[in-house]
Structure 1
Amino acid sequence: MSHHNASLTFSHAPNKHNAALSEKSLHEIQMQLMNKQELRLRYIQLMNDAQKILGRDEAIDLIKESEVIWEKLST
């Protein structure tokens, strides 16, 4: 078998390593999305608690300030 044929055969062989990397990447993406969703839910809970404790007007000010901070963190 020539060098050309050997490399051609190798390049067409299924690459289990790439499949494993894809699965790992998908899992990591799913975990990141779950973590972000948990953070969003916690954020909403905190804002609701702020309104109950501080009252509507002060909570609105707090929410506006936190949104500015959130935007800076999200970019």
Structure 2
Amino acid sequence: MAISAGPRNRPHNILGTHRVMFAVDDIEDTVARLRPHGAELVGEIARFEDSYLLCYLRGPEGIIVGLAEQLH
């Protein structure tokens, strides 16, 4: 079984891989494509100055996935 029955919202300071960050070309499109697969937006898509759009998603197993889109 690939999906565990353990808690989804684990504390952020436990051992193991539970967070990863990816650079994407279109953050809004990526979020829209991940939602049907169980990803939930944590907060909102935020702009960091004029450099990046950033957001965090929680996947179905509780893993936090960060997305960053570099603005041109």
Point out the structure with the larger helix share: 1
Q: Which has the higher contact order (CA 8 A, sep 6+)?
A: 2
The TM-score with structure 2 as length reference comes to: 0.25
